[in-house]
Amino acid sequence: MTNPSPGQPSTATGGGVAVVELFTSQGCNSCPPAEELLIEIERDARTRGEPVFALGFHVDYWDDLGWPDQFADAAHTARQEAYARAFGSGRLYTPQMIVNGTVEFVGSDRGRAASAIASALASAVAAPLTVSVPQLGGGGTPMVLDYRVERPPERAVVNVAVVQRGLDSAIARGENAGRTLRQDNVVRAFASTPLHAERGRVELAVPPDLDPAQASVIGYVQRETDRVVVGAAAVDLSG
């Protein structure tokens, strides 16, 4: 992920972009290796200056098995369910990694991840996206994100996520009992809005404990017909 100035416009207009969505849970003992891989993907992208955007969606269907994941959200589970319908599998599992909305595999599979990301970066961006954050939000005030999409496709949405790095969680119960999990790019807020014009604005309610110094906003354009991601960009909120 590129590292622009906080709140300032970020554009991904080069060869390709790779949006990496990981569906995970603190209650799943198969998930920590996938979360470690997501951390590596995000850090490598920053080091190389590559437009790779990592998002950790914590699902809630593990919560009743001994440990309620504080980052879990029913909306994240619904998003994974929509992917399952699109893939024709109807099956939910963790950890699941999805690249650019079309390629899915077990989230800890490093080879599949590397191959899918490389393929995504080699493809042209169909709808270049620019995002900026004129209002950071907090204290009951929503975060505001402005976007501009070049060549917006028909029947598409703009997804916007606030992700946070450096989150350590001590797990007391469930399959990961006794472990302290380090998680990066955890989705703390998410919104999806229909794309009707080249320019638009999205408001997000951010959690009160969000640390802007460890947070970014990721935007990505996704076609509704086939769920292909056709443009993405990010802005760091850190000072």
Q: Tens digits of per-residue pLDDT, 99-134?
A: 999 999 999 999 999 999 999 999 999 999 999 999
Three-state DSSP class for residue 26: coil
Which residue did the predictor score with more confidence, 72 or 14? 72
State residue 52's pLDDT score. Answer: 97
16: which 2 tokens? 């390709």
Query: Could you tell me where the DSSP H helices lie in the chain?
Result: 31-48, 74-87, 110-121
- What is the DSSP-derived secondary structure letter of residue 198? S
Summary mean pLDDT of the chain: 90
Cβ neighbours for 61, distance < 8 A, ≥ 6 positions apart: 25, 77, 92
pLDDT band at 8 (very low <50, low <70, confident <90, very high): very low
Reported as type and span, the H/E element at residue 53 is: strand 52-58
Please tell me the total number of residues recorded for the chain in this structure.
239
CA gap 176, 172 in Å, rounded: 8
Q: Is 181 left (phi over 0), alpha (psi -120 to 50) or beta?
A: beta
Q: 114 vs 38, 111, 185, 220, 227, CA distance in Å?
A: 11, 5, 18, 20, 21
What CATH superfamily is the domain 10-236? Macroglobulin (MG2) domain (2.60.40.1930)
208: which 2 tokens? 């009160």
CA gap 206, 139 in Å, rounded: 9
CA gap 71, 170 in Å, rounded: 13
pLDDT band at 135 (very low <50, low <70, confident <90, very high): confident
Domain-wise residue ranges, the chain: 10-236
